[in-house]
Structure 1
Amino acid sequence: MRLTPTSYIVLGLVRWSPGATAYDLERTINATVSHMWTIQRSQVYREPPRLAEAGLLTAESGGDGRTKTRFTITPAGEESLNAWLGEAVSEMPQLRDLAILKVFFGAGPQALARTRLLAHQARLKEYELLREAGGVAQSGPRLALEAAIAHERTSIRYWSDLAKSPS
């Protein structure tokens, strides 16, 4: 079975929250990794049963037809997730920013810069408030939050400079 980044996100979140339902996973993804990785809602609901079929998760339902299925990671799932976590990453990220794509094709950078600047400032404020509140206790999420803060600061610097420069 071919595992995708979505597979590993599901495995990791189920490891953190044994007994999670697909709905629980969707909510957790929206509150955590959605700023780092795009996952379609349908994938969140398809992936846990697929991983259970492969023996990487167990699936338990209440049996009454209305109770949601709860997932728990298996030893094979733990092994697979740990192996993935230990692999080096050589793939460079792709900068998917519609505003930068528009600048590339000749859109007026100053007009775009104003709205992008406000958006990045708002996102930075969210991240900084999360950090200040101490809501990220685990090392991995805390380090990812620091990367997100650095990214937003760099974006703010870029769009600020662009807003000041002549076309």
Structure 2
Amino acid sequence: MSIRLTTTSYIVLGLLRWAPGTTAYDLERTIRATVSHIWAIQRSQIYREPARLAEAGLLTTETVGDGRQKTRFTITPEGEEALDAWLAAGAEELPQLRDLATLKIFFGARPQAIARVQLLRHQARLKEYELLREIGGLAQAGPRTALEAAIAHERTSIRYWSDLAKAED
């Protein structure tokens, strides 16, 4: 069966490559702890996507448990092939700035008030990322490199919001 694969599909395939036999609940927890800061995924998508991929033959399923049944998902060779093809393809799409604070400023909110709050939030997120880097919680090169991009993004955001807050004084 041929289905249209989305970025969520590839996230699920990638995580299952690293951790075969994972449940949808475990996927949700892993996504929240890892890629959710760089790619937004609705909770309902996380629970629907593995079954959709299994139906297409990209994942296998195994139901385990006595009382509470859990379905564990594992990537198939076809799923590996689809993931590898996606990873090998370029990323031509430019990122979209999806920032509620910037949108509010666009429509007339006071930049100074928003800038001060955003500055604190970005500083807190930067500390989280730097702590994660410091404790070495990311064993694989890809997540470590993505973490460096997130740190650079937060530093840039801090400069921007700091400058905006100062400009209004």
The TM-score, its normalising length taken from structure 1, stands at 0.97
Written as runs of structure 1 = structure 2, the 5 A alignment for 1:27-38 is 27-38=29-40
- Residue in 1 that maps onto 2:55: 53
Alignment partners' CA distance in 1, 2:64 and 2:156: 49
Alignment: residue pair count: 167
d(CA) in 2 for partners of 1:32, 1:66 = 27
Report the counterpart of residue 115 of structure 2 in structure 1: 113
Q: Deviations over 1:33-65 (max 9, x none)?
A: 000111111111100011001000001102757
**1:59 maps to amino acid:** T
Residues of 2 paired with 1:95 and 1:63: CA distance? 43
Q: State the SS of the aligned residue for 2:36.
A: helix
Letter aligned with residue 31 of structure 1 = A
Alignment-derived partner of residue 5 in structure 1: 7
SS at structure 1 position matched to 2:70? coil
Alpha-carbon distance in structure 1 between the residues aligned to 2:82 and 2:10: 8
Instruction: Trace 1:78-97 onto structure 2 (pairs within 5 A).
Output: 78-97=80-99
The separation in 2 between residues aligned to 1:147 and 1:4, in whole angstroms, is 23
Aligned-partner Cα distance in 1 for 2:50–2:104: 37
Q: 132, 136, 142: which is aligned to 1:130?
A: 132
Provide the C-alpha distance between the structure 2 equivalents of 1:61 and 1:99, rounded to a whole number of angstroms: 44
* Secondary structure, counterpart of 1:96 in structure 2: coil
Runs of 4+ in 1 over 6 A off after TM superposition: none
Q: Shift of the alpha carbon at 1:67?
A: 2.2
Separation in 1, partners of 2:96, 2:107:
18
> In 2 relative to 1, CA 68–157 (structure 1 residues): closer, same or farther, beyond 3 Å?
same
Corresponding position of 1:140: 142
Gaps (5+ residues) in structure 1?
Answer: none
SS at the partner of 2:61? strand
Q: Which amino acid aligns with 2:46?
A: V
Partner residue in 1 for 2:28: 26
Q: Which whole-Å CA distance do the structure 2 matches of 1:74 and 1:157 have between them?
A: 45
1:43 to 45, 53, 67: 45
Letter in 1 for 2:108: G
* Alignment pair present for 1:77 and 2:61: no
- Report SS of the residue matched to 2:73: strand
RMSD between aligned residues: 1.2
Identity of aligned residues (%): 78
Distance apart, 1:130 and its partner CA:
0.3
In structure 2, the gaps of 5 or more residues are: none
